[in-house]
Amino acid sequence: MEIQHNVSLAPLTTIGIGGPAHHFVRVSSVDELREALAWAREKVLQVFILGGGSNLLISDDGFDGLVIQLDLRGITVENEDGFVMVKAGAGEPWDAFVEHAVERGWAGIECLSGIPGSTGATPIQNVGAYGQDVSETIARVEALDRTSGRVIWFTSDECRFGYRSSFFKNVEPGRYVVLSVTFRLRPGGCATIRYPELQRHMEQAGVSVDDLPGVRGAVIAIRKKKGMVLDPDDPDTRSDGSFFMNPVISSEEFEAFAKRAPEAPHYPAGESVKLSAAWLIEHAGFTKGFRQGNVGLSSKHTLAIVNRGGGTAAEVVELVGMIQQKVRDTFGVEMHPEPNFIGFD
């Protein structure tokens, strides 16, 4: 295990922002992970577990502790009751894993194509897009308990999945390190299409629900139009993807909101109502391509905060605050960021 020092973290993130890790190590086995955690305990250092570098904003001061980048790889397969159980190491790149499943005709995660980051991060955030969430197909999660040092298996129910939330994120943040995720996929199954925009695109392109590669292609095509697929030649993709979660409000809160914005799109979310974060941002006065210093909003999608070159975390935080305040003043709705903020007070 080789500990490095003062390693720049910006190149390891999708938004390209962040100061250095005072200490850094890449691990490719559970034993190396345990060794790295023990080293940090001995030095009395904070620890941050880094995956694919998406969905996070690192402070300009960096991280004053040990950053551990997980590189746990491997995909294993077994059948169970007519389903295929696919176990993927936490360090497997997520989109490559989705492609692996689609190519083999395993349905259940095809609408999650084109999302950057690592497989191990998906249960923490309960990653979702275009009508699918990973919680629909996750059978179990293998994790290392940093408190006891034991490896524990969590069932899907024990993960306590919610909208962009989980036991790992909201109940015991930082305690567990995800080692692998096992998905329960349908061999020869059809895609689950719930998102109207995707449905329209598929109809126009003549893609059927049993054509998983075609569905994956449709999802990626839509994401590319919004700058949501990493492309070194497209500055709009130098982002964390969707920076704000779609607000979920109570029925009573929606009654008050509807008086201010009767034309606003909204969707049922159990007994609550989900609003469109992009609509709120745009109608609060922020246009596509809006710029604030060296950062701004994507010219393709108002949900994405992008690094225009030389951007800083301080500039992102300032823009986030501006958007939150304006939406709050205009609609009385709170906007919550989706990425994790690392190295901030």
- Using a 10 angstrom Cβ sphere, with 0-12 exposed, 13-18 middle and 19 or more buried, the burial of residue 277 is buried
Q: What is the DSSP letter of 165?
A: B
User: Domains in the chain, start-ordered, CATH in brackets?
Assistant: 4-70 (3.30.43.10), 75-225 (3.30.465.10), 235-342 (3.90.78.10)
Q: What is the pLDDT of residue 265?
A: 96
CA separation for the pair 99, 101 (Å, rounded): 5
Other Cβ atoms less than 10 A from the Cβ of 148: the count is 9
Cβ pair 71, 28 in contact under 8 A: yes
Q: How far apart are CA 240 and CA 230, in angstroms?
A: 10
Q: Which residues are catalytic?
A: 164, 242, 338
d(CA 297, CA 174): 30
- pLDDT for 233 equals 87
Query: What is the average pLDDT across 137-145?
Result: 98
pLDDT classification of 81: cutoffs 50, 70, 90 = confident
Per-residue model confidence as pLDDT tens digits over 295-307: 999 999 999 999 9
pLDDT of 109 higher than 90: yes
HSE-up of residue 69 (Cα within 13 Å, Cβ side):
20
Q: Residue 47: pLDDT band by 50, 70, 90 thresholds?
A: very high
Residue 253 main-chain phi, psi, to 5 deg: -65, -35
Q: How far is CA 144 from CA 71, 147, 259, in A?
A: 15, 9, 49
Confidence of residue 232 (pLDDT cuts 50, 70, 90): confident
Quote the pLDDT of residue 86.
98
- Provide the 3-class DSSP secondary structure of residue 141: strand
Q: In the predicted model, what is the mean pLDDT of the chain?
A: 96
Instruction: Identify the pLDDT of residue 39.
Output: 97
Q: Give pLDDT, residue 301.
A: 93
